[in-house]
Amino acid sequence: MPDFLSRHAEAYGAYPRKAVADSGYGSEENYEFMEANDVEAFVKYPLFHKEQHRPFQQDISRQENLHYNEEGDFYVCPIGQRMHNIGTFSRKNENGYTSYITNYEAQNCSGCPLRCVCYKGKQGNRVISVNHHLRKYKQRAREKLLGEEGLTHRSRRPIEPEAVFGQMKFNKQYKRFRHRGKDKVNMDFGLFAIAFNIQKYARMTA
């Protein structure tokens, strides 16, 4: 996504004001890039749809459903125990982007009546791992996606790009590039896109 948005900036002299994308693009790295470049993100993240449903919301084994006390930096487990911060570690992805993950541990899970549904480990206490940076981005994305404008973008997104891919791949059987190499593939797809748009324009003005 950063690459795609940067090419938009190179071509048009500015980043787009808004970006609409499906959940595959909802990563910390992408959200951060959009925020840094003032791109309003209507971008889903994995589990966005699942978390709107009751079974997910009632699943106490999901750390997303535990209460977080920001001031005290602790989570509250389903039975009401505090889960304390036991340390933060970093993780680099294949692009070299570093994320920071914090672990929180429950105080004593032995003999807990909720253990079978909350924590399936045989020994020790439940530990959850949280990426707070991503958690905040997801919270903001959720508010946007569930708002009026977000609903409009979400209803249009599957129609606009997905329908075009369907027409390209199935109606026109454009399933493989005919050339090899980046420049030739650009030319290959560019010509196809020009022809596609001319046909679309002709239909609209007929």
Smallest gap from Cβ 50 to ligand SF4, in A, equals 21
Residue 20, SS3?
strand
Q: Residue 69 or 197: which CB sits closer to ligand SF4?
A: 69
Smallest gap from Cβ 182 to ligand SF4, in A, equals 51
H or E element: which one contains 145? helix 132-146
CA–CA gap between residue 174 and residue 192 (Å, rounded): 9
What is the contact surface with ligand SF4 in residues (CB under 6 A)? 77-79, 81, 106, 109, 112, 114-115, 118-119, 126
Q: Residue 77 or 145: which CB sits closer to ligand SF4?
A: 77
Smallest gap from Cβ 64 to ligand SF4, in A, equals 15
What is the gyration radius of the CA atoms in the chain, in angstroms? Answer: 23
Q: Which residues have CB under 8 Å from 112's CB, separation 6+?
A: 79, 118, 119
Smallest gap from Cβ 104 to ligand SF4, in A, equals 10
Q: Residue 45 or 104: which CB sits closer to ligand SF4?
A: 104
Let me know: does 99 contact 88? Beta carbons within 8 Å: no
Beta strands in 8-108 (DSSP E): 18-21, 40-43, 67-69, 74-76, 82-92, 98-106
* Residue the block writes with tokens 């404008």: 149
Q: How many CA atoms lie within 13 A of 51 on its CB side?
A: 16
Distances (CA, A) of 127 to 57, 105, 150: 19, 4, 34
Smallest gap from Cβ 146 to ligand SF4, in A, equals 29
Smallest gap from Cβ 78 to ligand SF4, in A, equals 4
Q: Residue 86 or 198: which CB sits closer to ligand SF4?
A: 86
Q: Residue 81 or 99: which CB sits closer to ligand SF4?
A: 81
Q: Is 19 exposed, middle or buried (0-12, 13-18, 19+ CB in 10 A)?
A: buried
Q: Residue 47 or 114: which CB sits closer to ligand SF4?
A: 114
